[in-house]
Structure 1
């Protein structure tokens, strides 16, 4: 068992992973470094890590396992630093980045045989950031991809799975190229589409001022992921350039195909197009997390009177149920409004549903 761990980067992902390790393996000694020293010190105060170090070298030289929890571009630079240090023989180095091929190629080029690099990608997240938002259960039921299919590294992969068992994640082994293609299809490219839809709305708003107001409903929901970090997505796209360019070509062909259906008024083809999409979408796992964090929303019909929102949140607080977001979808005089409350996990949403049913007579439904 590797008892000395070193986390480089103590944001939401690094902090949550450290907490999961500590919960499962209390004997582990966890050191942490962050480019913002106050974040590392806060990690000690919150019990996320045992020790905050002032430099990467201070933490790395004693580590049995080093976890790089930084943006992809910074991860590459940190790897360069580690490659020039004297580390423990057989140290495992892993990361949590959203792209894997570039990082894996770089690791193969700079690390010696005594440094075991295994790429990792825990597919979970939150709208919150920083070590103060870290949760040991963040990765529960999420996919945790480990990118190394070499036979000689198989024992080290098993060590990592044991070390990270407290995440209660579903571990998947695949090669880096396969990972980047799949995440490109189901995560990276959808973010481009969402951003593109928003840009299209912005252009139309110049001629149609009502665009922004009407976009406040379903359009706002289906483009949620466009609110993600611009810097993060810039780096992800650049690191996954090869696959993204191919996906652009595929998407343009697909849109041209649908355009032709409409141009020639091929009603049968249009129907079949939407029907095939519906069948595939309806067959997707409902309660399993994927590459894009799920949205666990509870929609509540609430009467329109002063204090109703604080009443609802009061009931949730009484039952110690945490929420991540709250929004009024619609409220008009003399009719019920629709309150949407978002949660971190499916279990929290179910608890909230039962809580509100217990204390009120409001009808609830899911989006």
Structure 2
């Protein structure tokens, strides 16, 4: 496709979308807008954008596709200014925010002027941030959720999908409320639960200091989403507050039921509680979902000097990049575990094969 694409917010998401568009649509001209001039200069130098924009007022009227890749609240405020600009009649406006109902309401003023707005949410991320971390295939095989608020917008969904086809993502159409309910349950609620569990553990370790050293392995894994950006999650929690209140209330009820089961020492009911959870958890698909996946490989390693260097040397020989590496010093019933995190499933499988072949160490994946 040929045309001008204006991307507002040139971070990891905005930069990755720009790269995917450039790869698929060679004739597209991409303008970047960001509060940071240095970010825009880096984006230009890296070939992620073709031009540094001045402002929405100046550059939005040039756009055939306008993409907001900034926090939800910021997007809502910026969208409110668009009806007063001399936008192209056929422009498509979209966003990448984690909630959809509030931004779709903010975009109603655009629909009144027959301007197309389609909400978007690419469900992928990275351990890194900023434009220098942008990757063309960041969204490959991830779900890219779209919400169209009007019939006219729905008719232009194929056009937007074509613009974004270079992402190699799986597009899924939802209503704004469906989107917020699903992401609330599968992403937002788990982050809140993880943060609450970490805070409760912090309180507990103040009374039992040895617990701090023991809070490794599995505990770190089930709570690692609590390390996410607190400013972003403040924004998400407020913009999706009504649905999150409903879901947190339901969660509180589940915890009350668990307390009652334990209090009553009902063996069958407690077994059923865990068994039903296991059955459903084991049935879940393995592909990328609401929370960005962590591609961990666990390696049984002997306890001698240089073993970590041996493993990393194998990865270097195979040109396999890792994103994190740690030794699980405390792991129930298992000792000598090296946990390596990769960017994607392909790297993890290559690493497993190489380490098992060259070092004869047992490697396994926990699902």
Indicate whether 1:4 and 2:4 are aligned: yes
CA distance in 2, matches of 1:207, 1:245: 31
Aligned-pair CA distance for 1:149: 5.7
Q: After alignment, is 357-366 or 270-279 more displaced? A: 357-366
CA deviation vs aligned residue, 1:174-207 (integer Å, no higher than 9, x gap) = 1101100111111100101100110110111121
Aligned-pair CA distance for 1:79: 1.1
Q: After alignment, is 256-265 or 240-249 more displaced? A: 256-265
CA distance in 2, matches of 1:301, 1:57: 58
CA distance in 2, matches of 1:56, 1:307: 55
**TM-score with structure 1 length normalisation?**
0.95
Indicate whether 1:95 and 2:95 are aligned: yes
**TM-score with structure 2 length normalisation?**
0.95
Indicate whether 1:85 and 2:91 are aligned: no
CA distance in 2, matches of 1:362, 1:29: 50
CA distance in 1, matches of 2:362, 2:183: 38
Secondary structure class of the residue paired with 1:31 = strand
Structure-2 residue corresponding to 1:353: 352
How do residues 64-75 of structure 1 correspond to structure 2 at under 5 angstroms? 64-75=64-75
Structure-1 residue corresponding to 2:302: 303
How do residues 51-130 of structure 1 correspond to structure 2 at under 5 angstroms? 51-109=51-109, 112-130=112-130
Indicate conservation of the 8 Å contact 2:5/2:63, yes or no: yes
Aligned-pair CA distance for 1:336: 7.0
CA distance in 2, matches of 1:258, 1:337: 34
| Change in CA separation of 1:34 and 1:310 when aligned onto 2, cut-off 3 Å | farther
CA deviation vs aligned residue, 1:137-189 (integer Å, no higher than 9, x gap) = 11111110001164322331101111111111110001101100111111100
Unaligned runs of at least 5 residues, structure 2: none
Structure-2 residue corresponding to 1:285: 285
How do residues 106-255 of structure 1 correspond to structure 2 at under 5 angstroms? 106-109=106-109, 112-148=112-148, 150-255=150-255
Secondary structure class of the residue paired with 1:48 = coil
CA distance in 1, matches of 2:154, 2:244: 30
Secondary structure class of the residue paired with 1:93 = strand
RMSD: 1.7
CA distance in 1, matches of 2:294, 2:121: 20
Structure-1 residue corresponding to 2:39: 39
Aligned-pair CA distance for 1:261: 1.2
Secondary structure class of the residue paired with 1:144 = strand
CA distance in 2, matches of 1:240, 1:315: 45
| Change in CA separation of 1:230 and 1:212 when aligned onto 2, cut-off 3 Å | same
Aligned-pair CA distance for 1:20: 1.0
Aligned-pair CA distance for 1:24: 1.3
Aligned-pair CA distance for 1:54: 2.7
Q: After alignment, is 54-63 or 289-298 more displaced? A: 54-63
Unaligned runs of at least 5 residues, structure 1: none
CA distance in 1, matches of 2:26, 2:107: 30
CA distance in 2, matches of 1:69, 1:167: 15
| Change in CA separation of 1:156 and 1:2 when aligned onto 2, cut-off 3 Å | farther
Indicate conservation of the 8 Å contact 1:330/1:339, yes or no: no
Q: After alignment, is 175-184 or 81-90 more displaced? A: 81-90
